Structure 1
Amino acid sequence: MTPLPIVLITGASSGIGATYAERFARRGHDLVLVARDKARLDALAVRLREESKVAIDVLQADLTLPADLAAVEARLRDDARIGILINNAGMAQQGRFVDQTADSIDRLVMLNTTALTRLAAAIAPRLAQAGEGAIVNIGSVVGFAPEFGMSIYGATKAFVLFLSQGLNVELAPKGVYVQAVLPATTRTEIWERAGIDLNALPEVMEVGELVDAALVGFDRRELVTIPPLHEAARWDALDAARQALLAGLRQAHAAQRYQPTA
């Protein structure tokens, strides 16, 4: 019997990442858990080894640091047993755009986009050559909503969706499954770290419900899974409108409304 692929999960010490670890361990997958907080990773690994009898490696890494990111990339490139990447590590935006410092912008963009992209790029060639495997990128519905006032965070999550759609075009014909998961507000520590009081928000999804829904989409091989969207036809309509817009582009000349008037 072919062994199940190892799952590498970033941001695995708490929240969505830790819950993915629990769910995949229950399914019998061995794991590589990546996060900054080694003590929490070790505690999670001990518990899951006992509960699910799976092998778990802990890889302490801050993905905003070049050396740490390179170490995780090397593991993804070189360990042929890893067949699923859960690209979950991320951070939220603290304050308005005008409140941001150069360092805070760099750190948020590095973690939410650059690190995520580089990890996907580290594993994709090997998966494509093998003709199997999966890359799951955790985005957010905030990527649809500049009105929410989290301009940089939302932009990074819009990037995650676009990247996932583009990777699907390239990798799906080679047998590699790509999924973008777009949560709304979920009860995790990311919001507390950003100074946002979850208790002040009207609707918050529990993390277990979010991950279980995402895994239903994973098992169905959905490209885009939006657990809080109750009317799936709305996403279908948005995607159809996007494709219709592309069909209406005629590039040789500017549209009539932009032509100079005499």
Structure 2
Amino acid sequence: MPVIELRNITKSYGRGGFFRKKERFDVLKDINLDLHAGECLGLVGRSGSGKSTLGRIVLGLEPPDCGSVRILGNDVTGLKELPRHVRREVQVVFQNAIGSTNPRMTAGQIISEPLRNFDGLKGRKLKNRVAMLLEQVGLSPDDAGKLPGRFSGGQLQRICIARALAPSPKVIVLDEAVSSLDMLIQARVLELLESLRKKHDTAYLFVSHDLRLVNRFCSRSFLMNNGMLHAFHPELNADTEAREALNKLSSAILPPLPERKTGKEHAGMPN
């Protein structure tokens, strides 16, 4: 059984102003998608393609206009708030780590929130669990007492990952979670997530506009364009809108660093 099942999901928004009648703009069009345990599913697309809207629907942050959403077999379509037992199983890491954390709370307090809310941990058990989570994401237990302002962007994003991992969820939605990090930190965070996926059988919905990251991290991927999903593979027809969107995403990928020239290749060149 899939951990997430989306069937015939549609979503539209009104656009227009005071001086003209609002028109409906289709953001998602008849989306069908399954996410399985232990799978990393990539959702790639340009800004405005609808991928983040789909992520919010999975998280229960907004309802679809039509269709159904099932999480671990529970129909949660249109609920204003996910049931408690479902909510603990679906966590999220957003792109903006600074905006996702309270600057007045220490790293330990940030990670403790889901442990208190879902497991009722306190005292020594809570402290030990926070220390373990910090070590799991490559930080020190001593970091628990530090405020967010004392961490780099990559370290703070690791704290957000630790918070998402705290209740041992079945699904984590990664909404551009590493897009704001430099390439070295991106690689380290992706290695961390991969090792945790293998260890805990956690499923990831990896939302991104970066083809390089999706190819590196995901076992199965979809291209989202104009509110529609396209299986992500080289045989996308060259004359389709999806192929055009894919080409634009590909052109935005930075080229690899040039190889260092050997001494022979430099022979005869001035110093």
Fold match by TM threshold 0.5: no
Greater strand proportion: 2
> Greater CA radius of gyration, 1 or 2?
2
Structure possessing the higher relative contact order (Cα contacts under 8 Å, 6 or more residues apart): 2
TM-score (norm 2): 0.33
Q: Which has the higher helix share?
A: 1
